[in-house]
Structure 1
Amino acid sequence: MSAVSFPTPLVQAIRLALGASVVAMSMPLLADESEPAHLNALVVSATALKVEAPLAETPRPASVVNEEELKERNVQSLDETFRYRAGVLSGHYGSDNDTDWFKVRGFDQSTYQDGLRIYREGFYQWLPEVYGLERVELLKGPASILYGEAPPGGVINAISKRPTDIAQGEIQVQLGTNEHQQVGIDTAGPLGTADNLSYRLVGLYSSAEGDIDFTENERYYIAPSLTWDISDATSLTILSSFQKDDAVPYNGFKLAYGTVQDTPFGKVDPSTSYSEPDYDTNEREQSSIGYSFSHRLNTNWEFQQDLRYSKLDLLLRSSYILFQNTAREGTRGLTYRDGSLDSWTVDNRLVGTWYTDRTENTLLIGIDYQDLENDGLEGNNYAFGDPIDLFEPTYGNFTPLTAADLTRRQITKEQTGLYLQDQLRLDDHWVFLAGVRYDQAETENTDQGTGTVQRADDDEVSFSGGIMYLADNGLSPYVSWTDSFQPIAGTDSNGKLYEPRIGEQLEFGVKYAPNHLDGYVSAAIYNIKEENSLVTSPGGFQVQEGVRETQGFELETVSYLTDQLQLTAAYTYNDATSDNESDNAPESPVALIPNHMASAWLDYAFQNTVPGLKVGGGVRYVGGSKDGNIEVPSYTIMDLMAQYEVTNNWLAQINVTNLADREYVASCDYWCYYGEARSVVGTVSYRW
């Protein structure tokens, strides 16, 4: 990797944020010295690292959002999870109902559930249901050492709810704006009279309209699971789920003309739909079954295995605005997909731990395998129907696609990875982390209509390492470096296979988690560079001569300031640039990615004055971004929450997102996208 050189604006941003960090670190010193114990899971749980390790004592950047916070903020989709964490951009495509959209440190990321890859190929999008999750973890930056081929943004790992030894349950009912309706049930406990069997059953029905006219989604979800404690050393948990979505897809695509640019006819209303309400559909069924197995071999070694089979069936007809052709009219395109995605994935791990008077050593040895097949009909029409009025659209002037317009495509992908990682703690002050991984990935993309086959066959070795010093006062500085790689199933204009994208990250950071603080503060400076990016040449061909780089700074805290007052705050500075080496043009800012993001959320529990009452509120700021010559203004959004525990069993809650109902453009990347409108959701829960 080239030497990290941070520009003057970054230095200024760091100085400003470091001032904020001093305030954040000093605030807990004013807190009551009693011992709240609400945030332990945030600090010590880190299965995204494939071993249990305190996040505050690991030289890798990570964030965790637990079930309590998911419920408190009424998180409805996975991409709402990290709104109040550093380094994560979401909501930049509006309130989409068929995809979870993230940008982490200026790059894409990969999504896992229970430590196993969720495959998302093109429009075949697996959507985890948030009501079925107990927490979500984020490992920032390149993570190929543990997870193989992946973009350099990081890995998001959604953890499913598991069986419990204690009988418990919940029935939840929600009503809200946009005709939002939801009923959920979550019950768990011992199975019958057996003392080594426990179960969990999570189910949900929801329906809602979208922010765009004529869009909607209806969902059915059920997730049964079973844990068998075979012996004191052996445990098996079976996890399964089924989810069905019937939707009219949310196409937030708008043109710059009428959104960030003025027109003689005013602005385009955010709710304007350019789709065909009676033709467009998004019917998705996703099902999975798998298990998590562990067996302790002796006092030092434990064997762990996770396996899952998943299947996704999709029928998608989605029309959208393509370009403007007159002052009032635009041409539309249509995407058609009808097929399935089948995948197997298994991860085998040996975890060894040793202790001496001076050392604590954790060794991870693993081999994983991933197999994917995506098979289906597809069609793309770039002149769908008659031109549509951009400001007052009318519908029905189109010809549906026929079987002759469709072609069959098959994508197969296999990946096998061998990895080794060791974490050594020395004298209770030093932590050393080192890892290496070898991957073999094969991808084949076949157009069965033309017989064209695109292949990628790549071997790659990835490295990672880190050093951290654990000071007695809870301040832990660290340095780390990590690699990533991502195969590309395609060929260039000469028929030559593309090389995989290669990413590297160098990071300097500090974590602060003293004994007197229930929570943590972390700060980091990082540089991520991706080579072999695809860019468009002057001749209009995709060539592999691009370099993409992000230099940034992050500050994050989740801490109790008093027994009643909790603060979650984050600041991010990203300088994300792209360089097309095939021309002489200067580096350009990456579309969608703002230079500055900041957020803060405060919770206050009225334990003494009004027992059972808790209120919270947050502010999210997203700075301006650029798409070529198009500038997207910054925006600030406020969220509110109030909950009241009526009795030990009954809880009432209300959540408001975008309190002022601000109308704003969230981002532009050729198309422009309005942000999420105001939503108000009331929840009543009965718990036992």
Structure 2
Amino acid sequence: MSSTIPALAADEASTTQQSETMVIVGTATKVETPLVETPRPVSSVDRAELDDRNVQQLDETFRYRAGILSGHYGSDNDTDWLKIRGFDQSTYQDGLRIYREGFYQWLPEPYGMDRVDVFKGPSSILYGEAPPGGLVNIISKRPTENAQGHIDLQWGNRNHRMLGIDTAGPVNADHSIRYRLVGMAKSRDGDLDHTENDRYYLAPSLAVDFSEDTRMTFLASFQKDDGVPTNAFKMPYGTIHDTPFGKVDPKTSYGEPDYDKADRTQTSLGYELRHRLNDTWRFEQDLRYSHLDLELRSTYMLSQLDDRMGARGLVYRDGDIDSWTIDNRLIGQWFTEHTENTLLIGLDYQNLNLDGKEADIYGFGDPVDLFKPAYGHYTPVASSDLIHREIDKEQTGVYLQNQLRIDDRWVLLAGVRYDKAETDNHNRTAKSVERSDDDQLSWSGGAMYLGPHGINPYVSYTESFDPVGRVDADGRLYDPREGRQWELGVKMAPRDWDGYISAAVFDLKEDNTLVTQAGGYQAQAGERQSTGFELESVGYITDHLKTTLAYTYTDAELENDKRAALIPRHQASAWLDYNFATLLPGLALGGGVRYIGESVDGDTTVPDYTLVDAMARYSFAQHWRAQVNVNNLTDKEYVASCDYWCYYGESRSIIGSLTYQW
């Protein structure tokens, strides 16, 4: 019979990764399970890899994992952009939803992350409303049993500067109270001219063992961003297509540097309760309150007027979001001579209130030269131009999941969930309201055979639904999007190898899909389907050489058999990390190659491109480490994607780091 994780040790075990093959994740099942022993598609990136690649934004996390597209809108200092299996995804932190409504984007800070998981495909069975692409779940840094810490200093191109501190350890002699304090200040210019962002981040946490059976972990965070937003919107003319005037410089900004702003304050406070009722049952509760305050003025290229000139638009948002999320779980685990059964019963509730003033101006200021824009020719938005909007959104979900393990050879997983979601979208200015009242029953099932040599084939089925909560160009709420996925795969983790290989084929469909129309707005247009194949491997070839390999084939099509915009059919990546432990102790070199195949937008074809990344680090004098990371080593100029607009990819990034650790 396989070993199990004690109730109160589960969370700490989930962040202790002695072997890539036995990464313990709860994202896919909400029960701590080895990654290679669950019949659901999940990948994970741990803190060590985040440090090795010096990840600066959430959407950089999965560059070397299968099934995930990032960077397709360039380097955005205002939003994280990811596509999973050709679809949108939702973002969670510590298992609870992060609300990102429209332009009100909550931006997680990578310095505060311990691990990031991705659940690929529909995930409503455990998490309720979500797009069909799946979800990203960020695991925050937690208090530790042992005293530890480090101070980090970074500098780089685009005026990158960062100072961070991360300290943790016990508060009292018996270690029953533990703390962690993570703080950081960072500043960097954007990838476009006249754009920038300054960030201040603080995340204290405290873990208290009230008894052998009861523990609470309190988690809080505060983050302040002040900057000028990066709006990478450009026309195909001058990017993909040639012109008599050459190409548009990738750094060209069509914003208004003295008017645009993106000031964001986000605060969260919550706790995790773990209580063992008896040898069979335990209770878990996660709760978080979040507040997001946003003042956004963002000028962008709207449309081409002639061979030289373009019209601009403006997005104006001034408001805040208050949200509550709570997840209650009762977990029972019992054994017979040949079986291990884990039953999960859950009840969760999500509540969001958005209150803000907004304007979408189509035709803001004077036309600008596409190749040499001049700034300052505009009229600021007046209060009379603003619409007062309030969105109230509630969701309650009840779910049941059973995982049966038979003779350490079979894993059978089945679940059902019922959700009720209500959304009221009030236009207080026009005194009108759009209401949606949706309920949904979601099913999930899976089976995996645990082979004697670590070769584990599986099959799974999952569903999703997503009440969008936004309005279309006519001010009407979108209909809920619904997704369903079949998957057949295999996960391999030979017992004598520190690594894993996973391969899967999938068929994912969505009804009421959103498609970008001429003019840039989104409309619902029938069914969208994505079929594909994924291959992923992380492991050690030798004691000193670690490899991360991924390949993705995705065929994403709309209802009329037309290829979906943005999504390449082929993606491949490889990262090698070699530690010179014997020859030059303390030295390690790493490097990666990322290939993104061609994509389309109607009749426009975006060429494929290949990027090279590099890393060098050196540990010395026992407590010190120096590191240099370079992304897009050759400073390749390329168009990352087109979807009505076109977007240049991120330019070369160079960041040096110096760390003192204890």
Same fold (TM over 0.5): yes
2:118 is the counterpart of 1:138: yes
The more displaced of 591-600 and 526-535 is 526-535
Separation (CA, whole Å) in 1 of partners of 2:446 and 2:26: 16
Task: Give per-residue Cα distances to partners, 1:32-63, cap 9 Å, x unaligned.
Answer: xxxxx853486333344211001111000100
Separation (CA, whole Å) in 2 of partners of 1:332 and 1:42: 52
Structure 2 counterpart of 1:593, one-letter code? I
Contact 1:42 1:64 in 2 (8 A): no
2:483 is the counterpart of 1:509: no
Separation (CA, whole Å) in 2 of partners of 1:183 and 1:553: 41
The aligned residue for residue 635 of structure 1 is: 609
| Residue of 550, 556, 561 corresponding to 1:587 | 561
| Residue of 249, 259, 262 corresponding to 1:279 | 259
2:577 is the counterpart of 1:612: no
Are residues 288 and 491 of structure 1, via their aligned partners in 2, closer, same or farther at CA, if it must alter by over 3 Å? Answer: closer
The aligned residue for residue 371 of structure 1 is: 351
The SS at the match of 1:589 is coil
Structure 1 gaps, min length 5: 1-36, 580-585
2:549 is the counterpart of 1:575: no
Are residues 574 and 437 of structure 1, via their aligned partners in 2, closer, same or farther at CA, if it must alter by over 3 Å? Answer: same
Separation (CA, whole Å) in 2 of partners of 1:547 and 1:234: 48
The SS at the match of 1:588 is coil
The aligned residue for residue 511 of structure 2 is: 531
Are residues 258 and 498 of structure 1, via their aligned partners in 2, closer, same or farther at CA, if it must alter by over 3 Å? Answer: closer
The SS at the match of 1:414 is strand
| Residue of 449, 456, 464 corresponding to 2:429 | 449
| Residue of 645, 659, 682 corresponding to 2:633 | 659
Separation (CA, whole Å) in 2 of partners of 1:153 and 1:257: 31
The aligned residue for residue 596 of structure 1 is: 570
| Residue of 91, 95, 108 corresponding to 1:115 | 95
Separation (CA, whole Å) in 2 of partners of 1:281 and 1:114: 30
The aligned residue for residue 675 of structure 1 is: 649
The SS at the match of 2:392 is strand
Separation (CA, whole Å) in 2 of partners of 1:210 and 1:115: 31
**In the TM superposition, what is the alpha-carbon distance from 1:454 to its structure 2 partner?**
1.0
Are residues 662 and 534 of structure 1, via their aligned partners in 2, closer, same or farther at CA, if it must alter by over 3 Å? Answer: closer
Are residues 545 and 325 of structure 1, via their aligned partners in 2, closer, same or farther at CA, if it must alter by over 3 Å? Answer: closer
Separation (CA, whole Å) in 1 of partners of 2:98 and 2:79: 13
The aligned residue for residue 39 of structure 2 is: 59
| Alignment of structure 1 residues 155-166 onto 2, 5 Å | 155-166=135-146
Separation (CA, whole Å) in 2 of partners of 1:183 and 1:494: 46
**In the TM superposition, what is the alpha-carbon distance from 1:499 to its structure 2 partner?**
4.1
The aligned residue for residue 200 of structure 2 is: 220
2:308 is the counterpart of 1:325: no
Task: Give per-residue Cα distances to partners, 1:547-585, cap 9 Å, x unaligned.
Answer: 000000000000111100001000000000011xxxxxx
Structure 2 gaps, min length 5: 1-16
Are residues 269 and 420 of structure 1, via their aligned partners in 2, closer, same or farther at CA, if it must alter by over 3 Å? Answer: same
Task: Give per-residue Cα distances to partners, 1:166-185, cap 9 Å, x unaligned.
Answer: 11010000000100000000
The aligned residue for residue 621 of structure 2 is: 647
Are residues 84 and 514 of structure 1, via their aligned partners in 2, closer, same or farther at CA, if it must alter by over 3 Å? Answer: same
Are residues 634 and 491 of structure 1, via their aligned partners in 2, closer, same or farther at CA, if it must alter by over 3 Å? Answer: closer
| Residue of 268, 276, 293 corresponding to 2:248 | 268
Separation (CA, whole Å) in 1 of partners of 2:430 and 2:29: 43
Are residues 363 and 640 of structure 1, via their aligned partners in 2, closer, same or farther at CA, if it must alter by over 3 Å? Answer: same
Are residues 274 and 469 of structure 1, via their aligned partners in 2, closer, same or farther at CA, if it must alter by over 3 Å? Answer: same
Separation (CA, whole Å) in 1 of partners of 2:482 and 2:571: 27
| Alignment of structure 1 residues 203-242 onto 2, 5 Å | 203-242=183-222
TM-score, normalising length: structure 1: 0.92
Structure 2 counterpart of 1:642, one-letter code? A
| Alignment of structure 1 residues 298-447 onto 2, 5 Å | 298-447=278-427
The SS at the match of 2:512 is strand
Structure 2 counterpart of 1:443, one-letter code? T
| Alignment of structure 1 residues 476-515 onto 2, 5 Å | 476-489=456-469, 499-515=479-495
**In the TM superposition, what is the alpha-carbon distance from 1:267 to its structure 2 partner?**
0.0
The aligned residue for residue 442 of structure 2 is: 462
The aligned residue for residue 74 of structure 2 is: 94
Structure 1 counterpart of 2:268, one-letter code? S
The aligned residue for residue 297 of structure 1 is: 277
Structure 2 counterpart of 1:402, one-letter code? A
Separation (CA, whole Å) in 2 of partners of 1:59 and 1:53: 11
The SS at the match of 2:111 is helix
**In the TM superposition, what is the alpha-carbon distance from 1:648 to its structure 2 partner?**
2.0
Contact 1:535 1:546 in 2 (8 A): no
Structure 2 counterpart of 1:228, one-letter code? V
2:163 is the counterpart of 1:183: yes
Contact 2:517 2:523 in 1 (8 A): yes
The aligned residue for residue 43 of structure 1 is: 23
Structure 2 counterpart of 1:664, one-letter code? Y
The SS at the match of 1:283 is strand
Task: Give per-residue Cα distances to partners, 1:574-597, cap 9 Å, x unaligned.
Answer: 000011xxxxxx421110000000
**In the TM superposition, what is the alpha-carbon distance from 1:266 to its structure 2 partner?**
0.2
The aligned residue for residue 26 of structure 1 is: none
**In the TM superposition, what is the alpha-carbon distance from 1:498 to its structure 2 partner?**
5.4
**In the TM superposition, what is the alpha-carbon distance from 1:238 to its structure 2 partner?**
0.2
Are residues 493 and 350 of structure 1, via their aligned partners in 2, closer, same or farther at CA, if it must alter by over 3 Å? Answer: same
Task: Give per-residue Cα distances to partners, 1:609-629, cap 9 Å, x unaligned.
Answer: 001111100000000000001
The SS at the match of 1:404 is helix
The SS at the match of 1:68 is helix
2:445 is the counterpart of 1:471: no
Separation (CA, whole Å) in 1 of partners of 2:521 and 2:501: 46
Separation (CA, whole Å) in 1 of partners of 2:564 and 2:171: 53
**In the TM superposition, what is the alpha-carbon distance from 1:536 to its structure 2 partner?**
8.4
Structure 2 counterpart of 1:45, one-letter code? V
Contact 2:618 2:627 in 1 (8 A): yes
TM-score, normalising length: structure 2: 0.95
Separation (CA, whole Å) in 2 of partners of 1:271 and 1:81: 24
Separation (CA, whole Å) in 2 of partners of 1:206 and 1:190: 28
Task: Give per-residue Cα distances to partners, 1:113-137, cap 9 Å, x unaligned.
Answer: 0000000001100011000010000
Separation (CA, whole Å) in 2 of partners of 1:83 and 1:489: 29
Separation (CA, whole Å) in 2 of partners of 1:226 and 1:492: 43
Separation (CA, whole Å) in 2 of partners of 1:393 and 1:87: 38
The SS at the match of 2:50 is helix
- Count of matched residue pairs: 646
Are residues 572 and 543 of structure 1, via their aligned partners in 2, closer, same or farther at CA, if it must alter by over 3 Å? Answer: closer
Contact 2:625 2:660 in 1 (8 A): yes
Separation (CA, whole Å) in 1 of partners of 2:299 and 2:434: 27
Contact 1:478 1:509 in 2 (8 A): yes
The more displaced of 620-629 and 39-48 is 39-48
Task: Give per-residue Cα distances to partners, 1:421-468, cap 9 Å, x unaligned.
Answer: 011110111110000000000011111111221111001000000011
**In the TM superposition, what is the alpha-carbon distance from 1:210 to its structure 2 partner?**
1.1
The more displaced of 487-496 and 85-94 is 487-496
Contact 1:599 1:621 in 2 (8 A): yes
Contact 2:517 2:644 in 1 (8 A): no
Separation (CA, whole Å) in 1 of partners of 2:339 and 2:323: 41
Separation (CA, whole Å) in 2 of partners of 1:641 and 1:111: 28
**In the TM superposition, what is the alpha-carbon distance from 1:249 to its structure 2 partner?**
0.2
**In the TM superposition, what is the alpha-carbon distance from 1:106 to its structure 2 partner?**
0.3
